[in-house]
Amino acid sequence: MLLLVFLAGHIPPGGPGSAAAWSATLPQAAADDTETARLPDVPGSDPPELTPAAREAIRKGLAFLAATQNRDGSWRTDGSSGKYPVAMTSLAGLALLAAGNTPTQGPYARNVSGAVTYLLKSARRDGLIAQLEEEGHCMHGHGFALLFLAQCYGMEENAQRQAEIRQVLQRGVELTARSQSAAGGWFYTPDAATDEGSVTVTQVQGLRACRNAGIAVPKRAIDNAMGYLERSANQDGGIRYRISDLRGSRPPLTAAAVACWFNAGRYDDPLARKALAYVEQRLRPGRLGGIDAAGHYFYAHLYMAQVMYLAGEEKWQDYCPEMYKALVRQQNGDGSWDGDYVGSAYGTAVALVILQLPYKHLPIMQR
């Protein structure tokens, strides 16, 4: 099962797209804010699960993302498989939103706004949100971009900019709808006419986020996609890689499918409950290299954390302490996380989304 075909990599210090170049374009006050920023402290609002160690991990992680954003507003992953700037930028942007930042408010508002600008510039007339360098595997990034921009849409205070986001989202939804396979799923490119589970999940969450933001989304597209996930279920409750694949269940993909069911409010769906029981037995926070995650630990827990949070307080409290301790333990000294051999932008963004779920700043991931 493939989330994105990434290998870790970094922009060389001082290069044209480097963090130093990006910081040089900011007013001095904004650059200083980036270095000293802390999460906003609202009396009585800190969730109890946010230990001092977890809060410090969040602070360092946010600072790392801000310091490594490129001058054009993007984050990239370099490696032998190529660069995926739309996916990385969308995920990093979600991590900053999860801290309570918006395109106009918060210590990292300028970084969020830069990410929005980059994604708007990446949007094509046909609706696809992608850069040329990622055309071979562009639909993951397209789905993440829909998710991020839909969260930003209601936060944008400039009417013209909001209208631009709306247009990009509407065109993006239309691209997703017409790219759906006959079975109800999606594949790595919009013209593939086939499907697999991990891309399908990104489109489902992107479509739902757009719908929640008031963007017109064809009901049939979501219904067919949910049907795809249902028909991908195995007898053990897990979800297989693709609907036509008769091989075993994939725990990371199963967690992602449960998140889609819960996003749709289908908490009591028998398939969702059976899939939840399946992943609860197989995806524990401490198993960094466990066979159940099959090398996709960060991917698995990006969705597992959402699932356990949405499942209610009892399940969240059973999952959260161990997950938080694991993430604090895995963080690097510079504030980053190395995620699934994809790289530090990816790992850091995913870790921060997980850690910041209790702040309830991402509407799509709220109970």
Per DSSP, what are the bridge partners of residue 343?
339
pLDDT at residue 273 in the model: 96
pLDDT at residue 40 in the model: 45
Element (H, E) at 302: helix 297-310
Name residues whose C-beta falls within 8 Å of residue 352's C-beta, 6 or more positions apart in sequence. Answer: 58, 61, 62, 65, 95, 98, 99
Tens of pLDDT, residues 16-60: 333 333 333 333 333 334 333 444 443 346 788 899 999 999 999
**Is the pLDDT confidence value at 5 over 60?**
no
Using the Cα atoms of residue 312, residue 238, residue 218 and residue 150 in order, give the sign of their dihedral. Answer: positive
Q: What is the pTM of this model?
A: 0.87
Which residue has better confidence, 3 or 140?
140
Identity (one letter) of the amino acid at 114? G
Cα torsion for 329, 334, 335, 336, to the nearest 10°?
-80
Tens of pLDDT, residues 63-117: 999 999 999 999 987 544 457 999 999 999 999 999 999 999 999 999 999 999 9
The mean pLDDT of 205-210, rounded to a whole number, is: 96
**Is the pLDDT confidence value at 1 over 50?**
no
Q: Give the pair of three-digit tokens for residue 144.
A: 């993440």
pLDDT at residue 43 in the model: 33
Tens of pLDDT, residues 242-288: 988 878 899 999 999 999 999 988 999 999 999 999 999 999 887 65
Q: Give the pair of three-digit tokens for residue 150.
A: 């839909």
pLDDT at residue 78 in the model: 55
Name residues whose C-beta falls within 8 Å of residue 128's C-beta, 6 or more positions apart in sequence. Answer: 138, 142, 172, 175, 190
Identity (one letter) of the amino acid at 171? R
**Is the pLDDT confidence value at 132 over 50?**
yes
Which residue has better confidence, 45 or 320?
320
| CATH fold of 19-35+46-365 | Glycosyltransferase (1.50.10)
pLDDT at residue 82 in the model: 53
E-strand stretches of the chain: none
Average predicted confidence (pLDDT) for the chain: 86
**Is the pLDDT confidence value at 174 over 70?**
yes
